[in-house]
Structure 1
């Protein structure tokens, strides 16, 4: 994971795009019938990162800054609420 994150940090510095898993809040059922499988499968969470957090409405949120883009969470979601997206780094931040 560290190698991927190092490459992504360099891409960010140069203004390239990055990939991250995102949760669609409209279709995420907030752990109903799935017990937040995305949270349980995430390797970043397993090593102590807050990559996937559960919001007050019980819906999952994936932090794009710490997502390792492993895609393990995508097939775990029974609602198909997680997808991989590619975005451009905002260099103005």
Structure 2
């Protein structure tokens, strides 16, 4: 199954730079973000808002439509391990 993973880097999710380390982890794990039309296999992209601002930082995994709120470096690594474990 091909997955699209979307990390919110909007103003609320990245307040105080909270999403910056998450971005770095994503680059380390999956390479640079890539729009869906260019992707082959699992890929990730950046969103400006996922409309869950009060619960951020946020990540959504498609096609499961799985939202992970209050994302931390540890919870992001765990989610990536679950996907590719």
TM-score by length of 1: 0.32
Decide which structure has greater helix share.
2
TM-score by length of 2: 0.34
Structure of higher CA gyration radius: 1
